[in-house]
Amino acid sequence: MQAAVLAALTITVMPGNGVASHTHTLHCGPPGGTLPKPAAACVKLTKLKAPFDPVPEGTMCSQIYGGPQVARVRGTYRGKKVNALYNRKNGCEIARWKRISFLFT
């Protein structure tokens, strides 16, 4: 019996300000892909609760602009499809970005 793959993700980061986007892959179970230090990223990812959930609707967020960066994570995680968009347009989104910023190198 083969172990289930924990994650198979494609991460695209668009830094903004005319800087070209870059894409990495991450596989967990076993660790691999083009993301630097995939084993460490897999360990960090498994410690997070609901890492790809959006900010809940109706959440009050500070109006702090963190920059033009945008990232998209697609693939599967723990058997569920992932299609998550990250940005830094307010305090809630900045906090969400920071939680998984290790994927955005």
CA dist 101 and 37 (Å) reads 13
Domain coordinates of the chain in residue numbers? 7-103
Whole-model pTM?
0.90
CA dist 7 and 42 (Å) reads 8
Q: 16 - beta bridge partners?
A: 19
The architecture CATH gives domain 7-103: 2-Layer Sandwich (3.30)
CA dist 92 and 89 (Å) reads 8
The mean pLDDT of 48-74, rounded to a whole number, is 95
The mean pLDDT of 51-72, rounded to a whole number, is 95
pLDDT of residue 53: 96
Say what percent of the chain tops pLDDT 90: 90
